Structure 1
Amino acid sequence: MKKTRFVIPREHGGWAMVSVPYIIGMAAAKPVLLHLPLFLAWLGLYMASYPFLQSLKKTSQRKTWLSWGIVYALIAIAFLIPVLVFKPMMLWFAPVLLILIMVNVWHVLQKSERALLNDICAILLFCTGGAAAYMLGGGGFDPILAAVIGYNFLYFTGTVFFVKSVFRERKNRRWTVYAKLYHAVMLVLPIFFGNPWMCLPFLFPFIKTLLYSGKIMKPMKVGIIEIVGSVQFLLLSMILM
């Protein structure tokens, strides 16, 4: 890695996870001006996590990774300050984030960052951004907050099953079955949550899994499908949730 090159997260799905739950949470409440600096702080935290975690794995260039991590972290703190000044209750999210981040760090140190548990904790971490956005906009501990966290968690967990079934676990028939079964359940689960219309955002993931799970796919094609899936989930959730 050259020092002159910008360091940004390479996990394309992470960009959707850092933004979609946040936007849904903001839309579910009342958008306010503070949502902008909070999102920029949230984005800065996400961008800082990548070089910090890389520094745990690639010790030969640790100083470079740490330097980028510190830069992004300082940017995140700068945008977070006005939010905390006007809404100090946002600090209550810090312990939750810290616990989930430590789980991620532990998996990196164990060289098992692809473990399903680590993926689930990462998704929960991103869903926390949606919860923060909702509460910043005047929301509270209510069914809508549960919906913001729950539906985002269910959707992005499904993307983990799908991506694993076409890449790392493509030859493992069990993962193909798991992916299809998971998406079939997600297609009807909103009915039991009392909002049958929320079945619609899970229709596209169900169809893509039936068509492609367990098959050879180019990364670009998977990326395009996931972008389309995230956009349709975002738009439909904002309308139907």
Structure 2
Amino acid sequence: MYSMKKYIPNQHGAWAMLVLPFLFGVAASSWQPIHIPLFICWLLIYLFSFPLLQGVKTGKFERYEKPLKVYGILLLPIIVHLVITEPALLWFVLPLVPLFAVNLYYAKAKNERALLNDISAILAFCLIIYPVFYVGQGESWRTAAELFLLAVLYFVGTALYVKTIIRERKNIHFYYGSVLYHLLVAAAGLFLFPSLIVPLLILLLRAAILPRTAITAKRTGLIEIGFSLMLYVSVLVLYF
């Protein structure tokens, strides 16, 4: 039986980055039927990129040939459908190219845990807000930009916070850097997102308290789903 590990990404935190910005884009506009194939396309692009990056990292593309073919075959007709339906979507692909090039570089260097690689991936994931907003016939690009900024700030903070629990658990300087980052985001939130100051303060407390406990990496990932949901609900209830 062919290993599912070659088909399913093992980066659990990426699933929140895949979904939350997409939902932000829908929230900033209005739901349209085209959002369904757009999300399927976005999901398949992520699934396709996983074996591609693994192939670049290991240099053994033959090990990932089957998932690349499966996801590529599924992806192609959806891309064709979206381009025919909304040709302008091609413009939203352009900023993703250099960001993915950074991911390819770090995969080749076998240094995928580098913070710059994380930030590049975060920016790519969060940029989905804009095409989702566009096909949702949104009216306020400022709102889309604010939610893009919120998503980037949140996920960069999450990347720092998770590192203080796993790879940088014993690095007190990294811990203080993470807490300082969250403190600055909360302070900036007073001006940028005043209605969201409570969830931003909760995220600050998360970054300050949880790394000082014996929390495991697995439990961290599960709890982070709750924090992502908290932020999404807060945006729906408090931001709009």
Under a length normalisation based on structure 1, what TM-score does the superposition of the two structures give? Answer: 0.92
2-structure distance, mates of 1:137, 1:3: 39
CA displacement 1:97-156 (0-9 Å, x = unmatched)? 111111100111112211111111100000111221111111367211211210000001
| Structure-1 residue corresponding to 2:102 | 103
The 5 A counterparts of 1:11-160 are 11-60=11-60, 62-139=61-138, 142-160=141-159
Matched positions, count: 238
Q: 3-state DSSP class of the match of 1:32?
A: coil
Contact 2:29–2:139 (8 Å) recurs in 1: no
Change (3 A) 1:200 1:73: farther
2-structure distance, mates of 1:112, 1:93: 28
Change (3 A) 1:79 1:240: farther
Which amino acid in the other structure matches residue 16 of structure 1? A
CA displacement 1:156-175 (0-9 Å, x = unmatched)? 11100100011101111111
State the 1:203 CA deviation: 2.8
Structure 1 stretch displaced more, 99-108 or 199-208: 199-208
Contact 2:106–2:112 (8 Å) recurs in 1: yes
Structure 1 stretch displaced more, 123-132 or 135-144: 135-144
Contact 1:9–1:50 (8 Å) recurs in 2: yes
Change (3 A) 1:219 1:138: same
Which amino acid in the other structure matches residue 197 of structure 2? C
Q: 3-state DSSP class of the match of 1:171?
A: coil
Structure 1 stretch displaced more, 25-34 or 134-143: 134-143
| Structure-1 residue corresponding to 2:222 | 224
Change (3 A) 1:141 1:29: closer
Q: 3-state DSSP class of the match of 2:93?
A: helix
State the 1:78 CA deviation: 2.1
Change (3 A) 1:141 1:223: same
Q: CA RMSD in A?
A: 1.7
Change (3 A) 1:70 1:201: farther
Change (3 A) 1:134 1:201: farther
CA displacement 1:49-82 (0-9 Å, x = unmatched)? 111111122345x213132123213322322322
Contact 2:126–2:151 (8 Å) recurs in 1: yes
Change (3 A) 1:200 1:136: farther
Contact 1:21–1:126 (8 Å) recurs in 2: yes
Which amino acid in the other structure matches residue 196 of structure 1? P
Runs of at least 5 residues in structure 2 that lack an aligned partner in the other structure: none
Which amino acid in the other structure matches residue 152 of structure 2? F
Contact 2:37–2:78 (8 Å) recurs in 1: yes
Question: Runs of at least 4 residues of structure 1 off by over 4 A?
Answer: none
Q: 3-state DSSP class of the match of 1:213?
A: helix
State the 1:4 CA deviation: 5.1
1-structure distance, mates of 2:218, 2:25: 29
Contact 1:179–1:213 (8 Å) recurs in 2: no
Which amino acid in the other structure matches residue 24 of structure 1? F
1-structure distance, mates of 2:110, 2:150: 30
| Structure-2 residue corresponding to 1:209 | 207
State the 1:36 CA deviation: 0.4
